Amino acid sequence: MKILHILNDVTDRGNGIVHAAIDLAAGQVVRGHTVAIVSSGGGLQPLLERAGIQHLNLEHSRNPLGFIKAFAGLKHHADAFRPDIVHAHVRMGVILGWLLSKISDRPLVAHLHNIHEKESLLMGLADRVIAVSTSVASTISEQGIPQRRIRVVLNGPLGSPRMSAFSQVDPVDLTRPAIVTVCGMNHRKGIADLLTAFDQIASQITSVNLYLVGDGPDIETFKHQAQLSPYRDRIHFEGCQTIPQRYMSACDVFVLASRRESFGLALLEAREVGCAIVASNIDGIPEALDEGHAGILFKPTDTSALAEISLRLLNNSVERLALRARARSNLEKFHYLTMAKNVDSVYDELLMEVPQIEYCRESDPLLPATQSSCHTSKNHNHR
């Protein structure tokens, strides 16, 4: 099968959507598919090449002229690559893919990685919408996307080429005991709540330090809040890190205090490293933590509960070690090949519903002569 993924870019600056899409594409290559990603490029292009994923350059722009050029570019790539499935991971990609589907026979799949903006409902234009958690699926169903189009496939970063280089890393030399978070620096990640909770923790443990790994639009607001803390000398903003696992493997407690979180790739990375995890009980987080077996859940924005749980773990090495062991168990369902297999099932189901038109592969100049058997294409004017 030929699969064309649409992304805005392939940045190496800690974008979870990009990471999840590349993990999926890499798994699809291992499963025998021919896979390409169309995007404006970025620092992860060398990784794509090593993983056997083609990269096709496409500049995105929200202005009318830029959109027209983007669609023309996508059509050009699609005509040359001839995908069986177009798989969009971003809103603009869904709109471009939907227009492409109107003038071609290519089914469109949308991957809904977050539900934090109303524009995410544009994903409902696709023939199938993959939600990264049952929580996301429930939310978008309530918001109007028909259940018949929604399928749940959990994120699976573990084992992927993107992650394999991080399996054996040297921990950062942190001042311990250390609390670490890895996330985008924006309000929905609960950074303000974590900073408030840290004041309570630091007042009880005079040597504890907080390390915030990541970057984002609200980082200056959080730095200002940290400067007002009496414990500001123990709060460290580390910026975006290419290998955040170096911080995870060095910490005593890993915290994700999100107010909204569709799933949380960082939680799976922290689990693989073997962190003692504390996270907010919201959206898809419980699914990432096996409903609280692999980490301790607290009510979002409840800074007192976050502080109390963190203090308990920092003061109790036995409980902390037991939690670390539970974090590393039952991880098979989060493997990248498991995710690719489950997405294949979505594709197969969709293609079975589409009226079929046969054409001979030997008529495709892009295919080797040894593959010149008849192939079943799909006419998907079925919506």
Domain ranges of the chain: 2-156+335-378, 166-332
The mean pLDDT value for 259-282 works out to 95
State the Cα–Cα distance between residues 237 and 226, nearest whole angstrom.
10
The mean pLDDT value for 159-167 works out to 76
The mean pLDDT value for 115-124 works out to 79
The mean pLDDT value for 101-107 works out to 91
261, 280 Cβ separation under 8 angstroms:
yes
The mean pLDDT value for 132-139 works out to 94
Output b/e per residue, 243-280; b: 16+ Cβ within 10 A.
ebbbbbbbbbbbbbbbbbbbbbbbbbbbbbbbbbbbbb
Q: Lowest mean pLDDT of 116-125, 138-147, 299-308, name the range.
A: 116-125
Instruction: Indicate the pTM of the whole model.
Output: 0.88
308, 198 Cβ separation under 8 angstroms:
no
Q: Lowest mean pLDDT of 3-12, 155-164, 206-215, 300-309, name the range.
A: 155-164
State the Cα–Cα distance between residues 270 and 205, nearest whole angstrom.
24
Nearest to 266 by CA among 168, 189, 340, 321: 189
Q: What pLDDT is attached to residue 261?
A: 94
State the Cα–Cα distance between residues 210 and 233, nearest whole angstrom.
10
Tell me which amino acid residue 148 is: R
Which tokens hold the place of 289?
């933590």
Q: What pLDDT is attached to residue 167?
A: 58
Model confidence at 280, in pLDDT bands (50, 70, 90)? Answer: very high
State the Cα–Cα distance between residues 248 and 268, nearest whole angstrom.
11
Sign of CA dihedral 44, 246, 153, 117: negative
Which tokens hold the place of 178?
């250390």
**What H or E segment, with its residue span, contains residue 147?**
none
| pLDDT at residue 355 is higher than 80 | no
277, 270 Cβ separation under 8 angstroms:
yes
Nearest to 334 by CA among 15, 20, 3: 20
Superfamily of domain 2-156+335-378 in CATH is Glycogen Phosphorylase B; (3.40.50.2000)
Instruction: Please give the mean pLDDT across all residues of the chain.
Output: 90
pLDDT tens by residue, 30-48? 999 999 999 999 999 999 9
| pLDDT at residue 379 is higher than 60 | no
Nearest to 175 by CA among 243, 242, 226, 235: 235
Report helix angle 91-102 to 64-81, nearest 10.
60
| pLDDT at residue 354 is higher than 80 | no
What are the φ and ψ backbone dihedral angles of 255, each rounded to 5 degrees? -125, 135
Establish whether domains 2-156+335-378 and 166-332 are of one fold.
yes
State the Cα–Cα distance between residues 53 and 29, nearest whole angstrom.
7
**What H or E segment, with its residue span, contains residue 212?**
strand 209-213
> What 3-state DSSP class applies to 31?
coil
State the Cα–Cα distance between residues 283 and 135, nearest whole angstrom.
5
Architecture of domain 166-332: 3-Layer(aba) Sandwich (3.40)
pLDDT tens by residue, 54-102? 999 998 777 889 999 999 999 999 999 999 999 999 999 999 999 999 9
Q: Is 74 exposed, middle or buried (0-12, 13-18, 19+ CB in 10 A)?
A: buried
